[in-house]
Amino acid sequence: MSSTGEKPGKGVYVCKHCGQTVVLDDDTDTLPPCPKCNHTEYHP
């Protein structure tokens, strides 16, 4: 599990609440809150 504020590395993360995908394209990017529902936990 990955949460907002973490830097889990490059990849696609799926919001646990609504299924919205967030793409991190750099290892230094931090996960934002879900842009759709503002949830903060993601499936890796």
| Nearest alpha carbon to residue 33 among 41, 25, 43 | 41
| Beta carbon nearer to Zn ion, 29 or 41 | 41
CB of 24 to Zn ion, least distance (A): 15
Site string for Zn ion, 1-40 (x = CB under 5 A): --------------x-xx-x-------------x-xx-x-
Q: How far apart are CA 26 and CA 8, in angstroms?
A: 10
How would you classify residue 4: left for phi > 0, otherwise alpha for psi between -120 and 50, otherwise beta? beta
Q: Which residues form the interface with Zn ion (CB under 5 A)?
A: 15, 17-18, 20, 34, 36-37, 39
